[in-house]
Amino acid sequence: MAELDFYEKPGCINNRKQQEILRQLGHVLRAHDLLTTPWTPERLRPFFAAKPVTEWFNYTAPRVKSGEVDPTVLDEAGALAAMVADPLLIRRPLIACEAGQCSGFDDNPVLQALGVYEAPEGIETCPRAHAANPCQYPPAEAT
């Protein structure tokens, strides 16, 4: 059992499923609102470890989907600046625990240390249709 900080988008269906997986493994979670946490580039950077910059992003974020933000052309400093300004761009969840820090709920050493060896298919893909009701920041309502 581990205690961990879980940075989520409140109301996110998949973040809720991810938390349940971790709790079923016996972990204690302290949930934090990813969108209102006061991020700085220095605080955010360790969550991405050795992942390439393109894997730091939430590709369902409205600004990415619209083409306003193109993760493929941003360097590390540009990506961090964009994410600090708009936390919806951050691939979530962000997890911090004794085993380290990580972003996303995929195959990574931190999740493996927590006992998550294979995440369910689609656990990071938002099931909502965003065309009619896109996510917003700051959020108008929890979605």
Note the pLDDT tens digit of each residue in 19-34.
999 999 999 999 999 9
Count other Cβ atoms within 10 Å, centred on residue 120. Answer: 12
- Per-residue pLDDT, averaged over 105-126, amounts to 77
75 in any annotated domain: yes
Give me the domain span that covers residue 107.
3-113
CA distance linking residue 95 with residue 37, whole number of Å: 13
Residues 6+ apart with CB under 8 A from 18: 6, 8, 93, 105, 119, 123
At residue 117, the pLDDT reads 76
The domain spanning residue 57 has which CATH number?
3.40.30.10
Q: What is the pLDDT of residues 56-110, one digit of tens each?
A: 999 999 999 999 999 999 999 999 999 999 999 999 999 999 999 999 988 889 9
48 in any annotated domain: yes
Q: What is the pTM of this model?
A: 0.84
76 in any annotated domain: yes
At residue 137, the pLDDT reads 41
Amino acid letter, 94: L
CA distance linking residue 57 with residue 89, whole number of Å: 6
The total of structural domains in the chain comes to: 1
| Marked catalytic residue, from 12, 97, 102, 135 | 12
Clarify whether 126 is annotated catalytic.
no
